[in-house]
């Protein structure tokens, strides 16, 4: 009996977990717009009858979510496409300037824009280099990501060429610790960020190969 349940779980659990994670992100992306699209459906009288054993409300929500996802995807692609044309580029920078004049919105917008730009567009090493870091004390190692090389304010002190390292908590890597270490204390690893996150999210159940590499100059 127990044997059968374990085997059944081994087969079904990965599938269920994968679906749960994907549906979570699906809902997160579509949630702000579902109400609007459903109102449009109601106005046009679309999908007001249930389908087989699914009620009208559920069917409407699901179709609305699908449509929103498709629209979001094409909107992103379209925006990226037209931003490369000169006319739209100046239009977009005008919008940028407009947002920068709104009191409270402007400070939040500026921070978000700077972070996204640093991570996505520039070719710095933010969140690209995986290291082993002697945290919390000398003989113990944690996995961290180098987020910044060079601390302008620390030049001339003992921490002259410190690098910023982010050490995520387990299994939810959206929180963690930000620390500054000397590069010679760190062990630079030849590992992808994806593998490092897999190691952290699985609580260490999926161990990668910790292979040292020379630090980038």
Query: Contact positions toward other proteins, by CB under 8 A?
Result: 1, 3-15, 17-18, 21-23, 50, 53-55, 58, 132, 136-143, 169-172, 187, 198-212
Q: Which is nearer to other proteins, 105 or 193 (CB)?
A: 193
Q: Is the Cα torsion angle 35, 41, 45, 46 positive or negative in sign?
A: negative
CB of 83 to other proteins, least distance (A): 25
Distance CA 205, CA 162 (A): 31
- Between 48 and 113, whose beta carbon lies closer to other proteins? 48
Q: Give whichever of 24 and 75 is closer to other proteins, judged by the CB atom.
A: 24
Q: Whole-number minimum distance, CB 98 to other proteins, in Å?
A: 35
Residue 195, Cβ density class (10 Å: 0-12 exposed, 13-18 middle, ≥19 buried):
middle
Q: What are phi and psi of 163, to 5 degrees?
A: -120, 150
If the CB atoms of residues 36 and 206 are measured against other proteins, the closer one turns out to be: 206
Q: Are strands 129-133 and 187-188 parallel, antiparallel or unpaired?
A: antiparallel
Q: Which of 39, 116, 37 is nearest to 70 (CA)?
A: 37
């Amino acid at each position: 009996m127990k044997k059968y349940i374990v085997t059944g779980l081994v087969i079904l659990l990965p599938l269920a977990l994968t679906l749960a994670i994907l549906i979570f992100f699906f809902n997160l992306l579509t949630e702000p717009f579902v109400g609007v699209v459903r109102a449009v459906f109601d106005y046009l009288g679309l999908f007001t009858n249930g389908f087989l054993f699914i009620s009208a409300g559920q069917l409407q929500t699901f179709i609305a979510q699908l449509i929103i996802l498709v629209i979001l995807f094409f909107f992103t692609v379209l925006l990226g496409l037209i931003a490369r044309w000169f006319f739209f580029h100046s239009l977009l920078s005008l919008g940028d300037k407009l947002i920068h004049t709104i009191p409270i919105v402007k400070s939040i917008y500026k921070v978000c824009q700077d972070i996204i730009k640093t991570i996505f567009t520039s070719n710095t090493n933010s969140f690209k280099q995986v290291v082993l870091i002697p945290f919390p004390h000398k003989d113990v190692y944690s996995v961290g990501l180098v987020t910044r090389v060079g601390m302008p304010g620390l030049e001339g002190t003992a921490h002259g060429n410190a690098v910023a390292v982010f050490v995520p908590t387990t299994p939810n890597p959206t929180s963690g610790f930000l620390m500054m270490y000397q590069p010679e204390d760190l062990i630079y690893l030849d590992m992808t960020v994806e593998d490092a996150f897999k190691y952290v999210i699985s609580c260490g159940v999926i161990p990668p190969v910790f292979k040292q590499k020379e630090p980038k100059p």
